Structure formats: structure tokens, C-alpha cells
Amino acid sequence: MNRDKWLIPAIGLSLGIIGGLYYAWFVNPVSYRETAPSSLRTDFKANYIALIASAYDSTNDLKRAQFRLDTLDDPNPIETLSTLAQQGKALGLSESQVKALTFLITAIEQNSPTTTSAATNSTSSKNRTPTAATAIGAMGTHTPKAAHTPARTSSPSSAHTATATPRVKYELQEEIKICDPDLDLPLLQVRVVYANGNPAPGVKIRVIWDDGQDHFFTGLKPELGLDYGDFTMTEGTVYTVQLVGSSDLVTHLAVEDCTGDTDETYPCSWLLRYGQPSP
């Protein structure tokens, strides 16, 4: 008798729950509209940022692009943009989207005089260690050329105009032979800064040798600095290097032997520093 007393309410409760779930899921499901971009899932947020960069690439409206980035509530948008540009192809972005991302990074950096350049002080790669992976992910320290992604090299115009972008001029300031046994591969390392000392990401560097040529870009390894880019050298090959926006040609760069404390030999690397002339 007691069993029958509770059976009917239990059946009613079960039917009520099932009916409520059916109504909520199929009859009148929740529909999200006009949600904040900061609440987007990581992969959707990456696509949203890529759209912002593509829009800037078309309009050259930096003020609107920065307003859109602000809606993400990201405390470090430069790092997020750089990491996304670095990992863009792995995340399914097109080459044009990756180029747009690096172009936007360059625009924000050059139009942000208060941006600190402390994180990119001139130190060798030996003294730098990669940071932890960001929300989108980061690459290792000395990755071969496969990580190099084409980027737009022209400098941005003022944030309040939509005129054509002038070319930035750079000068070779230093050429340093690096003997660092901790480097896994002989590298051609390049660092580029603006006249105000801020890092210059998205700058294209051409590398030419007897039977070929290639290029790479600054800013695609943010853990080493937005002013930094590198290219893996091959022993026995002589390279000529030209930074787009500079008339300086660096020739006869080749892998040479370095001698360690115990007389062992290892290949050298080269570091080229470029800067924008003072106005």
C-alpha cells in the first residue's frame, strides 16, 4: 500500500522532468544573441581576431581595429596577435589572414609610443627562455624555417586616417658573430626596432644564396621578442641578407667554426641589428 502511495507522484515527477527537458531542448531552446566577444570559445575567438585583422587590412582603420580588440578584454592583445600569427596555419587560418595579423601587429606597435621594449632588450638567445604557452599556444625556442609565415612589411599610417601606408626605412646598426654552444642550429638572427626603441614585428628579411633564396619575418616567435626573427643556416653556404626597407646588403655570411673552452669546435651564428633612423 505504501509503495503505491509513492509510485504515482514519482511517475508524475519523472514525466514532468522529461517534458521540461524536451521543451527546453527541442521546442524552445535557449538562443544566445549579441553575446560579448570576450565570452567566445577559444577557437571562435581566434577566428574573430583574424576577421578584425582582415578588416584592418582592407580599410587601414587602426582606430576601429583597436576598438574591436578592446571588446575581447585581453590584457595583452599584442602577445595574443603574435601567437595567433605564429600558430595561424595550425589553427586553420589562411595565408592572407596570417599576413593581415602581422600587419596589424606592426600598426599597433608603431602607434603605441608607451609600449615597453624591456622584454626585447638586446641579449643573445642563450639568455632567453620561452614563456609558458598562451591561450592559443606558443612555439619552441629554435624552430626551423617551417615556422616562418609571410607578413605584410609596409608600416601603418596614423590611427585616425585611412591613407596609403608609407614604407619604413631601416639601417643596419650591428653585425655580430655569435659563438654559443647551447644553440641547437647555426642561426641567422635579426632584430629590428623603430626609432623610439619599440620592437618592429612583421618586417620581412630576404636571404639569398648561390642556388636559391628565401625570406622570414620578425615577430613570429614572441617568446624571444617581437623584434626577433631567425633563419636556419646551412654549413658551406654563403648568404646575402637584405631587410625590406633598408638599402644595406650584408654579404658573405657563412657558418664558421667556434672553439670552446676544451678546444671542441661548433658552428657559429650571426646576429644583425637594424633600427629606424631618428627623425
**More confident call, 239 vs 92:** 239
Quote the pLDDT of residue 126. 36
For strands 249-253 and 212-217, give the pairing. unpaired
- Give exposure, 103-115, as e/b (b: 16+ Cβ within 10 Å): bbbbbbbbbeeeb
What's the 3-state SS for the chain? Answer: CHHHHHHHHHHHHHHHHHHHHHHHHHHCCCCCCCCCHHHCCHHHHHHHHHHHHHHHHHHCCHHHHHHHHHCCCCCCHHHHHHHHHHHCCCCCCCHHHHHHHHHHHHHHHHCCCCCCCHHHCCCCHHHCCCCCCCCCCCCCCCCCHHHCCCCCCCCCCCCCCCCCCCCCCCEEEEEEEECCCCCCCCEEEEEEECCCCCECCCCEEEEEECCEEEEEECCCCHHHCCCEEEEECCCCCCEEEEECCCCCEEEEECCCEEECCCCCEEECEEEEEEECCCC
- The neighbouring-strand residues paired with 171 are 275
Q: How far apart are the first and last CA of the chain?
A: 96
Lookup: cell for 27: 521546442
Q: Are 125 and 141 within 8 A, CB to CB?
A: yes
For 22-44, what is the mean pLDDT?
69
For 106-135, what is the mean pLDDT?
47
User: Which stretch of 27-31, 77-81, 112-116 has the lowest confidence by average pLDDT?
Assistant: 112-116
Query: How many CB atoms neighbour CB 244 within 10 A?
Result: 15
pLDDT at 9 over 50: yes
Quote the pLDDT of residue 245. 74
Domain extent listing, the chain:
37-275
Quote the pLDDT of residue 256. 95
User: Which stretch of 83-87, 215-219, 231-235, 264-268 has the lowest confidence by average pLDDT?
Assistant: 83-87
Q: Are 179 and 271 within 8 A, CB to CB?
A: no
pLDDT at 120 over 60: no
- Residue 87 pLDDT level (bands cut at 50, 70, 90): confident
Quote the pLDDT of residue 188. 96
**More confident call, 132 vs 66:** 66
pLDDT at 152 over 90: no
Residues 216 and 232: their CA atoms lie apart, in Å, by 10
Angstrom CA distances, 159 to 62, 136, 151, stand at 5, 27, 20
Q: Are 212 and 252 within 8 A, CB to CB?
A: no
pLDDT at 154 over 60: no
- The fraction of the chain above a pLDDT of 70, given in percent, is 73
For 61-77, what is the mean pLDDT?
86
Quote the pLDDT of residue 113. 56
pTM of the full structure: 0.48
